[in-house]
Amino acid sequence: MLESLRAAFIVFAALTAITGVLYPAVVTLVGGLLFADQARGSVVERDGKAVGSRLLGQPFTEARYFWSRPSATGPQPNDGAASSGSNLAPTNPKLADAVRERVAALRAADPGNSQPVPIDLVTSSGSGLDPHISPAAAEFQVNRVAAARGMAVATVRELVADATLGRTFGMLGEPRVNVLELNLALDAQGAKVK
């Protein structure tokens, strides 16, 4: 019996060292070397100050900015420590009410916009932290942002086109726009105009 316990303890100690120390150390080292930006959180800096991450959505509510997807995290939106979807079924009245409220808020922010509201502007992603919107969601907001900033619609559209990322490897996922990077490009463009 003592021999079996000794063997079990040796296996336990060896597996703990391999899976708890060696493997995480190798993954951290390889990640830091091959994917340095992602391993450090893909932090975006302006004037030496961190303003966000390319990988995590942020709430934007001013008319002069493009708005992100709604966040299902709580109690604060886009809380990285509480990543989750809403888990509300499509037939759940709470989801329908939330979507109606979001559509109403988008319509109130841009009363002249009669385009259909893109679904990603009124529903949260599975993680609740999606940093991207669809090109259609960006296009939906172009006129509002241009008017709020006093910029030409064509200039804002050009910034959206520049910020639009294609499918990964030309075939994975959908085209998308990183909202933080687009809003930072808008701020930089506004600084040039002034």
Asked if residue 30 and residue 71 are part of one domain, the reply reads no
Q: Are residues 36 and 54 in the same domain?
A: no
pLDDT tens, position by position, 35-45: 877 777 778 77
Together in a domain, 18 and 83 = no
d(CA 129, CA 120): 12
Which residues span the domain enclosing 17? 1-40
Do residues 46 and 101 both lie within one domain? yes
- Does residue 96 share a domain with residue 177? yes
For residues 35 and 75, state if they share a domain.
no
Q: pLDDT > 90: what percent of the chain?
A: 53
22 and 62 co-located in one domain? no
Number of structural domains found in the chain? 2
Same domain, yes or no: 68 and 13: no
Q: Are residues 50 and 25 in the same domain?
A: no
Together in a domain, 2 and 20:
yes
Regarding whether 9 and 98 lie in a shared domain, the answer is no
Q: Could you tell me if 99 and 122 lie in one domain? A: yes
> What pLDDT, in 10s, does the model give residues 114-155?
999 999 999 887 777 888 999 999 999 999 999 999 999 999
pLDDT tens, 6-27?
999 999 999 999 999 999 999 9
pTM: 0.77
